[in-house]
Structure 1
């Protein structure tokens, strides 16, 4: 069998064998990195980051980050258990750290390792705002977005390899590489990333409501995020994230649905 056929067969095999169901959407997703492979790597990278940065452990803000994280992850576990996914989180090792840094950002690694930067706290304006961000970051972990991005990146690389094998002419190969790099990024990888952000917004809104936090605050937080950006944001189709206006409109639309979901768990009042 030729190298080209081997690569294409491998791509096809990965596509067939790597579908996993997202419990929150019921849809199959591309993911051929099992937790047993990706979690230890993520935990190691997280520990290295924590060791190289200033972690605030005993401040009121740090304790709030931990408190909100525990409430959000517990709400996620309640939802998963109630919807037929008991044990889904058995390999997760939740950790919530506040790091001294002026960046207006927070992030989560596979397996539940979360960092908030102090720079985002003024935008959050308190515990409920933190819950909006925490819900979003926890949702990334729950939906295996990190593993999905790695899977998509692997397929993108294999596609480039297959094209270079198939095209013998050097000039044509160079043209292919240029077109493939731009096309696969703008046409596939960036929309893929934006879909993850939108999905994390929706899942996070639902989980924060189950945890007892007001989902209406999500749109308000993103209005503040928009104001803090001062208009310095890329065009949506060239960004890994939806525009602030898109997110705000989505969150306003989804907030009543999140309240309805929370009511199934006996939550009728919100902080």
Structure 2
């Protein structure tokens, strides 16, 4: 019981200290120090650079660097309160999968295969804007905090049920429940928030936000079937497109007020 009380008190203190809001106003619990998140992001990116081949296509690199530069500048202007890295490292990896990512500390990776699905600079901006939004909204920190919290609860269950025949089964059941009831819905919330922020960022950068819808239609064609939405960490393509279209009016207003971005390979 002492272990139970001490752990509950510690979690309560950490929760109060880490409560905040994302740039869209959503309540958020992020407990990991930003410096540590940036350090982990840097270490992960360095390992990727050591273990993965880097694309040498000059046109692809020019295009990605240009789009990333415009998107980063727009993100800083659109969400100044979020805090941006002073310098961003952008690398195109020679990987055929249509993917991209951004890491805390200002690192962006784009797979060469994405350029086969993102058919225009505007579509590429939709992807990079989405990934930068994950970093600005501190989603990695929130996910990490959430995972630590789930593990702490399961540890408590292990302590209080020790010696009971049902203990292991209970822990397994709670683990599944935590994954379906906590981890996955939060991850979908992150994706939806990154879509919303990414749409605003690409429009601010002068990329046509309507291309975000075209991008996800291309992704749907390239990706084939998806698991049921309630078991997926990402919204279904149809739900994602519907949500993007619900924010399109504001995004188009921002796009018309911006200088058109000019990025080519």
Answer yes or no: same fold by TM over 0.5.
yes
Scaled to the shorter chain, the TM-score interval is: over 0.9
TM-score by length of 2: 0.93
CA shift for structure 1 position 267:
1.7
Task: Tell me, yes or no, if structure 1 residue 198 matches structure 2 residue 198.
Answer: no
Residue 252 (structure 1) aligns with: 245
Residue 258 (structure 2) aligns with: 267
Q: How many residues align?
A: 262
What is the alpha-carbon distance in structure 1 between the residues aligned to residue 255 and residue 211 of structure 2? 15
Tell me, which stretches of 5 or more residues in structure 2 are unaligned?
none
Tell me, which stretches of 5 or more residues in structure 1 are unaligned?
none
Residue 176 (structure 1) aligns with: 170
1:106 pairs with one of 80, 91, 100:
100
Distance 1:217-1:137 versus aligned 2 partners, 3 A rule: same
Q: Superposition RMSD on alpha carbons, in Å?
A: 1.8
Question: Which 10-residue stretch deviates more, 180-189 or 247-256?
Answer: 247-256
Q: Runs of at least 4 residues of structure 1 off by over 6 A?
A: none
Higher relative CO (Cα under 8 Å, sequence separation at least 6) belongs to 2
1:66-105 equivalence runs, <5 A: 66-81=65-80, 85=81, 88-89=83-84, 91-105=85-99
Confirm or deny: 8 A CA contact 1:68 1:127 kept in the other structure: yes
Residue 223 (structure 2) aligns with: 229
1:1-271 equivalence runs, <5 A: 2-22=2-22, 24-57=23-56, 59-81=58-80, 85=81, 88-89=83-84, 91-231=85-225, 233-262=226-255, 266-267=257-258
Confirm or deny: 8 A CA contact 1:137 1:200 kept in the other structure: yes
1:47-84 deviations in whole A, cap 9, x for unaligned? Answer: 11112211125511111111111101100111234xxx
What is the alpha-carbon distance in structure 1 between the residues aligned to residue 162 and residue 79 of structure 2? 51
